[in-house]
Amino acid sequence: MSDFILPDIGEGIVECELVKWLVSEGDLIEEDQPVAEVMTDKALVEIPAPYKGRVTRLYHKEGDIAKVHAPLFELVGEDDDSGASAAQSKPEAKEPSAGEEPSASPKPDTAANQGNDATEDFILPDIGEGIVECEVVEWRVAEGDEIEEDQPVVDVMTDKAMVEITAPKAGRVTKLYHQQQEMAQVHSPLFAFIPRERDEPVEPKAKPSQAPAQDSAPAAAQPAAAQNRQRIPASPAVRRLVREHSLNLADISGSGKDGRVLKADVLAHLDTPATKPESQAPSADAKPAPTSGRRQAAGEQEVRVEPIKGMKAAMARNMVTSATTIPHFIYSEDIDVTDLLALREKLKVEAEAKGSRLTLMPFFMKAMALAVQEFPVLNSRINDDVSEIHYLSQCNIGMAVDGKAGLMVPNVKGVESLTMLGVADEVARLTEAARSGRVSQEDLKGGTITISNIGALGGTYASPIINAPEVAIVALGRTQKLPRFDANGQVVERAIMTVSWAGDHRIIDGGTIARFCNRWKSYLESPQSMLLHMG
């Protein structure tokens, strides 16, 4: 019988909301079977079972807030269930000897057992999404090091992002099971450690005899240990920010509960640097005096190093794969969106009355879903050995959003079957979620074609990289007021938007993407024509 401890996967997550239990107490579950859905401040995550067994207790109700490093549910494995009777027979055999109080043998045995069992393995958790292994990128500690609760121990790279694994509790690292660049499997030990509460009782007995001989050493060691135990509460993300700026966490006053140091506290501390140099003036003056010239030269050559992690690392990896494995065909075109802008202005008031925010994006998506029906190859995928084209039944249009956690591409599912207001509501929801870093994995999966609105930042032309395994992407440039000739040969002002397509040249040739773009363009330049083709 064991408790499933909600793991800390870094990124500053300290708690999550239990959205839904997928099992009940008493249920038999299989390894990797989904047990619960939890919502962190980043995304909706599905928690799977670590092994086969029976759920004996659920520690939280739906809607409760669960803390990391706290039990989520209790699970009895098959071995525990089958060995219950054997486990009960052992206490009966020990009771006669335990009843003989003068006997000292049981206590040494239990002490020895505690010594053997004091070492705990940190098991690499399965956080769902099909992740079965990860690469050990960098160990932050070595065997024998003392660690504090929430201290970063190792950086690992999954096929989704870089994740910082932190210590579940304070203690001493006894073994690292993997070297850097090795692959670690989920549900297998990552490192072993002795929790401090188990390690401490043994040390006082071993050190008294050595204390007289090593007077100075313990005196120096004890204050350091005392300082370590007075842990300042802060999330892993905050501690990483403190390390990156070479700050001391003790110098920053925390405004959170129980003195927890928040990210805002660190940023506020960085914004008021004048007080720190004054307090550190003696030590600062001591070093520059003899080497002031060299210090100035070194300052000119300073380089700030920032590791590529999280969504940025995942994006970098995906873009390299796409750019090096997919032959891109680039095609640009100008679209006159004058009539489209006028129609949107007319419909915007009615949409707002219904609680919807109508932008141009729903029109772009709806026109694209209609054009895809005539050119389904734009809404397809290729198998791994490039021997088959898989035509997809739904048009799930992704939109690139520069969010808080990095570039994200959530997608609107089944655009062809939604109303214009339905698409507008989904666009608004996903944009807000992406900008706040709260997009669920479901919204990020299953995209079939992507729109990147680079024009919102001022760009005109682009050369977008396909979001594999999709086969096409379009970048929207900014809308410009440009002169054009009307039917009578008169120069008039028109709203012109430049779009840049990238297609997978293995299955999409220039003629296909040109004809597809022309069809899409016709819907946008004459938006009322879409009414004839909507199902």
Catalytically active residues, by annotation: 505, 509
Helix axes 106-117, 84-99, angle to 10 degrees: 140
Angle at 149 between CA 148 and CA 155, to 5 degrees: 90
- Residue 465 structure tokens: 């990289």
How far is residue 123's CA from residue 50's CA, in Å, rounded to a whole number?
10
500 with 493: CB under 8 angstroms?
Answer: no
- Specify the DSSP element, H or E, that contains 518: helix 510-525
Angle at 179 between CA 173 and CA 5, to 5 degrees: 50
Strand ranges inside 359-445, DSSP E:
380-382, 389-391, 397-399, 401-403, 406-408, 411-412
Closest CA to 262 of 238, 230, 278, 283: 238
Angle at 396 between CA 394 and CA 398, to 5 degrees: 165
How far is residue 146's CA from residue 133's CA, in Å, rounded to a whole number?
27
End-to-end alpha-carbon separation of the chain, Å?
A: 56
Amino acid letter for position 407: L
Closest CA to 467 of 431, 503, 510, 413: 503
CA distances from 180 to 176, 184, 194 (A): 10, 10, 22
Helix axes 361-374, 420-435, angle to 10 degrees: 120
Look up residue 261 and give its DSSP letter.
B
Q: What is the number of helices (H) and of strands (E) in the chain?
A: 17, 26
CA distances from 126 to 24, 45, 484, 501, 529 (A): 20, 11, 59, 38, 50
- Residue 412 structure tokens: 């609107």
Ramachandran sector of residue 505 (left: φ over 0; alpha: ψ -120 to 50; beta: rest): alpha
Look up residue 320 and give its DSSP letter.
H
Angle at 37 between CA 32 and CA 42, to 5 degrees: 110
Alpha carbon 420 to its chain centroid, in Å, reads: 31
Please give the backbone phi and psi of residue 178, each rounded to the nearest 5 degrees, phi first.
-135, 150
- Residue 382 structure tokens: 């290729």
